[in-house]
Amino acid sequence: MYRRWFAALMVLAPLAVPAGATAKPPVCAPDAVRQTLIDLGKLTPEGIELGEDVDLIRCGDVTNDGITDAVFTIASGGTAGDIRFGVLRGGSDGRPPALVLNKQGYKVGIARRNHRSFEVVQPRYKAGESNCCPSSFRKRRYTWRGDHFKAGKAKKLKRAPARFYRP
């Protein structure tokens, strides 16, 4: 009896959620971010083969226009972790996403803060510290100013919050 009920539930469960209700906006899909960056010359197929590829994506409005944007990082393919970060501004009316920020970094972590800002965290090494174990981190907020992002003052952290690096 329970098996039949469970089987019926498994068959009908997908019908309970409207199509596309859980789908990410196109700008947030890793393949879409990758292809946009390739089209803009910011990623190459050769680099991707060597491990330089889209890693983290934080989806949501950060340009204060009500349209979903993608805050992303690019992996180095090696021990440097994520070495670039940026923002693809979601397009409206069929326009493609626009790259509004593209910055270099080292072991970058990202977190969306609200509808007009996000934060970046990076390790800070003292002389002689190994790559695994930085003594501190710096967190910097990037705030949308209508046509560009402005970097705020860096804040020192003893540890990097997990939310910055979690997929």
More confident residue, 21 or 129: 129
Residue 20, domain member (yes or no): no
Residue 68, domain member (yes or no): yes
Q: For residue range 98-157, list pLDDT tens digits in order.
A: 999 999 999 999 999 999 999 999 999 999 999 889 999 999 999 999 999 999 999 999
Residue 38, domain member (yes or no): yes
63 within 8 A of 55, measured Cβ to Cβ:
no
Residue 56, domain member (yes or no): yes
The SS3 assignment for 23 reads: coil
With CA atoms as reference, report the closest residue to 90 among 98, 100, 102, 82.
98
Residue 14, domain member (yes or no): no
In the predicted model, what is the mean pLDDT of the chain? 88
Residue 3, domain member (yes or no): no
Task: Return the sign of the alpha-carbon dihedral for residues 136, 142, 143, 145.
Answer: positive
Residue 110, domain member (yes or no): yes
Residue 4, domain member (yes or no): no
Q: Which two tokens stand for residue 75?
A: 């992996």
Q: Domain span at residue 153? A: 25-164
Domain count for the chain: 1
